[in-house]
Amino acid sequence: MSELHEQIERYLTGKMPESEHSAFKERLKQEADLAKEVEIYQGIDGALSNKNLRDFSVMLEEVKKEHQRTNISVPAEAAVDHQKNGTFNLKTWYAIAAVISLMVIASITLWPTEQENPAQWYQENFSPYPAQALRNLDDRYPDGLADALTAYRQKEYTQAAEILLTWQNDSIQGPLAIFYRANALMASGDVEAAVSLWENQLTSEETVFTQSVQWYAALAYLSRNNLIEARKLALQIVSTPQHAYKTEAEKLLNDLFD
């Protein structure tokens, strides 16, 4: 962090000693660029104070990105004509035909060839999130949660999933509990229950281990034969620079979709 930004933070949070505070205020009067910078920092907390609007903006941004990826807007002319006439005309039918053709092509290209088996690929490539990552963190967790994580480490996945269930709605530990519970469920064979947890995590603001969530969700989809979602996530992983699961996702795409 630059010295200047450190100063701005201290100035705005009232953590500046009196002498430094006066000198900084004096600088603000004389340096227009500095004043602008401070104004932006002041604006951050104010603009983001409304949680509903903050969440709504994040959702809009995500929907925008999804929309840009899929780019399936109703063509402008077709939509206008539909509204004017109250019925579908030829242009609209062309648009619908184009979308259906694209869907058919997509389903053909997405469908793995006969010798490739997604469920088998899942069995060969799934292993629960490594438990070693938890070792140094035990003292940070409350007792009950620590017990669950110990069970997880000892590969007692059913027991771990059961205890973690009681932590899922915890306002602080919830996201972590969900992450390990979904892993434990997959390890104990209840992938269907895990899928709904991963789906929740993929859209949640409270997600922990974002990159791992994407990978394990892709695997869960694969196991349930939901190849469209599995491929979508694998493509997202591959297109993210330095993604922790890039190699695995590339392998998945090569083995099952190329």
Partner 1 sequence: MLTEEFLKEGLRRGDRKVIQEIYTLYHGRIASWVVQNTGSQSDAEDVFQDALTIIYQKTQEQDFFIQYKFYTYLFSICRNLWLKRLRDDRLRQARTENELVELAEEVDHFIDEFDVKQQIFRRKFAQLGKKCRRIIELSLQGKGLGEIAALMALEDERRVTKQKSYCKQKLAKLVKEDSLYKELKA
98 binds partner 1 (CB under 8 A): no
Q: Which residues contact 61 (CB under 8 A, 6 or more apart)?
A: none
Exactly one of 46, 90, 113, 242 binds partner 1 (CB under 8 A); that residue is: 46
Select the span of 169-177, 185-193, 225-233, 242-250 touching partner 1 (CB under 8 A). 169-177
113 binds partner 1 (CB under 8 A): no
CB of 153 to partner 1, least distance (A): 16
Q: How far is CA 13 from CA 10, 28, 49, 162, 174, in A?
A: 5, 16, 16, 43, 30
Q: Which residues contact 183 (CB under 8 A, 6 or more apart)?
A: 128, 129, 152, 194, 216
CB of 12 to partner 1, least distance (A): 10
CB of 34 to partner 1, least distance (A): 13
Q: Which is nearer to partner 1, 5 or 189 (CB)?
A: 5
Select the span of 16-24, 122-130, 150-158, 170-178 touching partner 1 (CB under 8 A). 170-178
By CB under 8 A, what part of segment 127-166 binds partner 1?
137, 140
Select the span of 50-58, 153-161, 181-189, 229-237 touching partner 1 (CB under 8 A). 50-58
Exactly one of 193, 208, 235, 244 binds partner 1 (CB under 8 A); that residue is: 208
Q: Which residues contact 120 (CB under 8 A, 6 or more apart)?
A: none
- Collect contacts of 139-148 with beta carbons under 8 A, ≥24 apart: 141/173, 142/173, 145/173, 145/176, 145/177, 148/177, 148/180
**Cβ–Cβ contacts within 10 Å for residue 8, how many?**
20
Name the DSSP class of 140: G
Extract the tokens encoding 173: 């530990």
Exactly one of 22, 25, 26, 63 binds partner 1 (CB under 8 A); that residue is: 63
Select the span of 15-23, 70-78, 182-190, 191-199 touching partner 1 (CB under 8 A). 70-78
205 binds partner 1 (CB under 8 A): yes
Contact of 116 with 135, CB cutoff 8 Å: no
Exactly one of 26, 31, 69, 72 binds partner 1 (CB under 8 A); that residue is: 72
Select the span of 21-29, 71-79, 101-109, 160-168 touching partner 1 (CB under 8 A). 71-79
Q: What type of residue is 125?
A: N
State the Cα–Cα distance between residues 138 and 86, nearest whole angstrom.
63
State the Cα–Cα distance between residues 61 and 55, nearest whole angstrom.
10
**Cβ–Cβ contacts within 10 Å for residue 106, how many?**
12
Judged by the rule CB under 8 A, the positions of this chain that interact with partner 1 are 1-2, 5-6, 9, 36-37, 40-41, 43-49, 51-64, 66-67, 72-76, 79-80, 83, 137, 140, 172, 175-176, 203, 205-210
